[in-house]
């Protein structure tokens, strides 16, 4: 996988939740840094997983350097996405003046939108990627993607939120003839149109007033947002970007990986490969013969050799079943995305707890 | 509130299943559902955001599945429904506005659809609202509820918590009006420890347990009724400490399959200890009763696998 990312500036790791995206993003970052690049890894991670793996107590929204001999010739920087801080900066960038910025930042709808709401994290992840590209301090940026219900949400979020901010929806409801932003459109006059009064019956007046104030706050800034969403999209579609689909054995993550692969290809986004993580190898040499096993246990002085032998045999048999299950997963993924290079990463007993463990994952990704 | 004052998880009518992505929420929801149905309770497993994984797990390809938001029978007494937020929004508007043509005018408007898709919390509210309406639905002409048990397979931790908290948030955000009233009614049911219980699912892995414990704290801080934890995929305690010297000797001196078997067995011991340690963390730091689901060694989960897990919910925690 890592050799295929040699000439890419932006690497986006996507896949279902729980497949090890964060760890693999960090390992890809480490793999690229070892080759001499200056790499930033953006992680989206409420449990601060990457922080643990990188031996950093606290990851902030600003990149921090990972100082470890395993990084080798290059530099590895890591940061934790802070969706709200990123959104605040985006507003500050596009607001015409300080007063406009304050109006938005303190609006109740905005505070809700920029924090918890599904979709804003996904949008801000790509926005942060764009900021880092603009900043120009890094040769490469690796983006871990947020834990969405559906891995595809990540691709749709920017457009959804831009549409909401654009407020075309409510504008049309309020004054069907109004064209363009900033044409004296202020707070909604509640009750001035049929549909609006219907909506008010559902939401109540306060919520509609907040929404209208929110949209009024963005009046005149919409173009900036739309341009930015366009630029982000163009950046992701450019040959400087690379998408990596990550899965683990299991029907749910596999199905999401397949859907994601199809969708990325259909959208013309630069999908370069898939990774099947946590693959158990078949035990080498197969199961031991009952007699040699028993004899060896007797020779080793086991208390109840026959009993221990049967428990050992069961352990090997379990391992074989799990390995076959993982082979099935590998075949299914290969069949679903036949033209896509597929890399496997062996299962670890637990997530890497230090940079040495991460380096072992990076080694597997060299294939 | 003391643990003794509230009913155990599966004695509550509405159960929410929460956990990190990949923790096995869907499997756990299905197994809990099978267990409740086997006790003679008419049970509905609710999926959000049109996942349709439950029908896939049970190999059900019912004709009704083509319709959105229709209950499908998975096994005797066990049903599922997959809530599609768009459809639930239409349904919600229909109950609020009562005039069908008005609802259609709204939902056919592209402008409204754009608004509804991104309006903060709307998809979450209608999803929770639909869950609530299923929970309070009565059989026609009687005061008996349609469903004895409802089990909600939530999205991954962050989004799952956001969904559970959406009623509180909207209540604050809406100020006044029908949405606020609706949010308040929903919140009262969702936060009632006699009616509702949240089960936090984790795998016996450091980060999965950590995320589960963080979720427990966050839910408690928000007054939401966390009732139980589930540790999914526990390795069996197959070996004893006395087995180790012989296994180590074989791993060091033998070659081929015998040495491999010894090494795998030693790793199994390590894995089992590791899982026990994570169980201890989950139990001690959450203070919750923990249901332990064993790691299933199967090429496919299948309904037989689900039934094995379902039996664990009958075992004393």
Q: What is the ipTM of this complex?
A: 0.88
Q: Residues B198, B49, A164, CA angle at the centre, nearest 5°?
A: 110
Sheet holding B290-294, edge to edge: B72-75, B78-83, B43-48, B149-153, B14-19, B196-202, B226-234, B290-294
Task: Single out the residue of B212, B216, B200 nearest to residue B154, CA to CA.
Answer: B200
Q: What's the whole-number mean pLDDT along residues A98-103?
A: 87
How would residue B193 be classed by pLDDT, with cut points 50, 70 and 90? very high
Task: Give residues 208 to 237 of B whose Cβ lies within 8 Å of A.
Answer: 208, 210-211, 214
CB contact under 8 A, B120 and A109: yes
Is A48 a residue whose pLDDT tops 70? no
Take residue B238 and report the two structure tokens written for it. Answer: 């197959």
Nearest CA in chain B to A204: B177
Query: Domain residues of chain B, as ranges?
Result: 3-238+288-312
Task: Give residues 145 to 184 of A whose Cβ lies within 8 Å of B.
Answer: 146-150, 160-161, 163-164, 168-173
* Contacts across the A-B interface (CB distance below 8 Å): 226
pLDDT at A6: 85
CB contact under 8 A, B249 and A300: yes
The pairing of beta strand B149-153 with beta strand A342-346 = unpaired
Percent of chain B residues past pLDDT 90, beyond the cut = 59
Average pLDDT, rounded, for chain A? 82
**Rg of chain A on CA atoms, in Å:** 26
Contacting residues of B for A325, CB less than 8 Å apart: 298-300
Please tell me the CATH superfamily of domain B3-238+288-312, with its number: P-loop containing nucleotide triphosphate hydrolases (3.40.50.300)
Percent of chain A residues past pLDDT 70, beyond the cut = 81
Q: What's the whole-number mean pLDDT along residues A153-182?
A: 58
Best mutation site among B56, B157, B214, B261 for testing chain A: the one with the most A CBs within 10 Å? B261
pLDDT at A229: 79
- Is the whole-model pTM more than 0.90? no
CB contact under 8 A, B211 and A169: no
Query: Residue A47 is nearest to which of B123, B207, B262, comparing CB atoms?
Result: B207
Contacting residues of A for B96, CB less than 8 Å apart: 201-202
Task: Give residues 261 to 320 of A whose Cβ lies within 8 Å of B.
Answer: 283-289, 292-293, 296-297, 300-303, 308, 311-316, 318-319
A278 CA: distance to closest CA in chain B (Å): 12
Average pLDDT, rounded, for chain B? 87
Q: What's the whole-number mean pLDDT along residues B124-143?
A: 91
């Amino acid at each position: 996988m890592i050799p295929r990312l040699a000439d890419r500036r932006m690497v986006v790791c996507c896949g279902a939740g729980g497949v090890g995206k964060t760890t693999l993003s960090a390992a890809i970052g480490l793999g690229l840094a070892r080759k001499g690049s200056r790499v930033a890894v953006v992680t989206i991670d409420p449990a601060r997983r990457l922080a643990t793996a990188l031996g950093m107590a606290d990851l902030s929204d600003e990149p921090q350097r990972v100082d470890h001999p395993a990084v080798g010739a290059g530099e590895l920087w890591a940061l934790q996405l802070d969706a709200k801080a990123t959104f605040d900066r985006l507003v500050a960038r596009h607001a015409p003046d300080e007063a406009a910025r304050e109006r938005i930042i303190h609006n109740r709808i905005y505070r809700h939108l920029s924090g918890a709401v599904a979709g804003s994290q996904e949008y801000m992840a790509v926005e942060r990627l764009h900021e880092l590209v603009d900043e120009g301090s890094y040769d490469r940026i690796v983006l871990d993607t947020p834990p969405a219900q559906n891995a595809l949400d990540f691709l749709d979020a920017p457009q959804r939120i831009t549409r909401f901010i654009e407020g075309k929806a409510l504008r049309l409801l309020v004054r069907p003839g109004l064209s363009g932003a900033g044409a004296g459109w202020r707070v909604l006059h509640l009750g001035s149109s049929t549909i609006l009064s219907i909506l008010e019956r559902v939401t109540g007046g306060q919520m509609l007033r907040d929404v209208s104030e929110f949209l009024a706050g963005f009046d005149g800034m919409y173009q900036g947002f739309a341009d930015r969403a366009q630029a982000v999209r163009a950046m992701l579609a450019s040959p400087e970007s690379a998408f990596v689909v990550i899965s683990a054995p299991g029907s749910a993550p596999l199905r999401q990986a397949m859907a994601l692969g199809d969708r990325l290809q259909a959208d013309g986004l630069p999908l370069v490969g898939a990774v099947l993580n946590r693959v158990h190898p078949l035990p080498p040499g197969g199961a031991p013969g009952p007699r040699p096993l028993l004899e060896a246990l007797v020779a080793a002085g086991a208390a109840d050799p026959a009993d221990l032998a049967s428990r050992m045999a069961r352990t090997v048999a379990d391992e074989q079943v799990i390995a076959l299950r993982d082979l099935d997963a590998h075949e299914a993924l290969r069949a679903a995305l036949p033209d896509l290079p597929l890399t496997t990463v062996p299962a670890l007993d637990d997530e890497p707890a230090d940079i040495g463990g991460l380096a072992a994952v990076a080694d597997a990704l060299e294939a | 509130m003391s643990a003794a004052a509230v009913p155990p998880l599966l004695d509550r009518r509405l159960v929410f299943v929460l956990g990190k992505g990949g923790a096995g929420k869907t499997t756990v929801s299905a197994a809990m559902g099978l267990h409740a149905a086997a006790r003679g309770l008419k049970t509905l497993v609710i999926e959000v955001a049109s996942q349709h994984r439950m029908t896939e797990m049970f190999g059900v390809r019912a004709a009704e599945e083509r319709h959105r938001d229709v209950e499908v029978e998975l096994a005797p007494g066990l049903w599922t429904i997959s809530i599609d937020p768009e459809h639930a929004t239409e349904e919600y508007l229909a109950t609020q506005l009562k005039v069908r043509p008005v609802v259609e005018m709204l939902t056919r408007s592209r402008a409204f659809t754009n608004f509804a898709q991104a309006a903060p919390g709307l998809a979450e509210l209608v999803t929770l609202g639909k869950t609530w309406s299923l929970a309070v639905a009565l059989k026609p002409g009687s005061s008996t509820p349609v469903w004895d048990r409802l089990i909600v397979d939530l999205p991954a931790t962050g989004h799952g918590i956001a969904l559970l908290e959406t009623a509180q948030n909207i209540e604050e955000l809406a100020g006044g009006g029908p949405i606020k009233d609706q949010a308040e009614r929903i919140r009262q049911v969702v936060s009632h420890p006699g009616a509702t219980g949240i089960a936090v699912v984790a795998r016996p892995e450091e980060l999965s347990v950590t995320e589960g414990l963080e979720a427990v704290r966050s839910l408690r801080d928000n007054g939401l009724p966390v009732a139980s934890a589930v540790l999914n995929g526990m390795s069996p305690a197959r070996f004893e400490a006395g087995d180790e010297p012989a296994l180590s000797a074989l791993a060091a001196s033998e070659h081929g399959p015998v040495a491999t078997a010894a090494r795998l067995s030693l790793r199994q011991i390590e894995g089992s200890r590791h899982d026990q340690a994570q169980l201890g963390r989950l139990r001690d730091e959450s203070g919750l009763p923990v249901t332990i689901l064993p790691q299933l060694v199967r090429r496919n989960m299948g309904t037989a696998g689900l039934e094995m897990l379902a039996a664990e919910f009958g075992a004393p925690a």
